[in-house]
Amino acid sequence: MKEIIAVVRMNKVSATKKALIKVGAAGFTALKVMGRGRLVEDKSVIAERRETLLALAQKNDHETEKRITEFLDGTRLFPRRMFTVLAHDEDVPGIVQAIISANKTQYNVGDGKIFVLPVLDAVRVRTKESGDAAI
């Protein structure tokens, strides 16, 4: 039995839910979280992303530029969604692949992170079933 924790972009929540349902995940929980990943050190990627974000913002003011700069230099946390899925060991590769497929973008940064952890036990409150039967 494993716990899969996936941290994904907010605009990928619907795609992630659909992918988890399609792959047959028994159930999942989603939480709003704030955070940031490892900073990108390639200055060309950062410059390109900065220009794209400024163009998307459709504003050319100091506040917008400040927020984008803080986003790219690591001083600002940004919203993400964290999914938690309990799964049978044999289902983990399919679930992980479904999450990757739903969340991979062409941006080369910020697509999220997936963690797979062992689960010692689970108990279904309603029936008191434990172990794999509780999933």
In this structure, the chain runs to a length of 135
* pTM of this structure: 0.80
What mean pLDDT do residues 42-58 have?
78
What mean pLDDT do residues 2-6 have?
98
> Kind of pairing, strands 78-87 and 2-9?
antiparallel
Contact (Cβ atoms closer than 8 angstroms) between residue 117 and residue 22 = no
Tokens read off for 115: 């963690």
Rounded to an integer, what is the distance from CA 115 to the centroid of its chain?
10
Please give the domain boundaries of the chain with CATH numbers for all domains. 1-36+79-135 (3.30.70.120), 38-76 (no CATH)
- What confidence tier does 32 reach under pLDDT thresholds 50, 70, 90? very high
What mean pLDDT do residues 1-15 have?
97
pLDDT recorded at residue 47: 78
Q: From start to end of 27-77, where are the E strands? A: 28-35
Helix (H, G, I), strand (E, B) or coil at 48: helix
Q: Tell the burial category of 71 from Cβ atoms under 10 Å away from its Cβ (0-12, 13-18, 19+).
A: middle
Ranking 18-22, 61-65, 80-84, 126-130 by mean pLDDT, the lowest is 61-65
Residue 51 CB neighbours (<10 A): 11
Contact (Cβ atoms closer than 8 angstroms) between residue 72 and residue 50 = yes
Give pLDDT tens digits for 74-118: 778 889 999 999 999 999 999 999 999 999 998 777 889 999 999
Alpha-carbon Rg for the chain in angstroms? 18
Helices and strands (H, E) in the chain, number of each type: 4, 4
What mean pLDDT do residues 18-38 have?
93
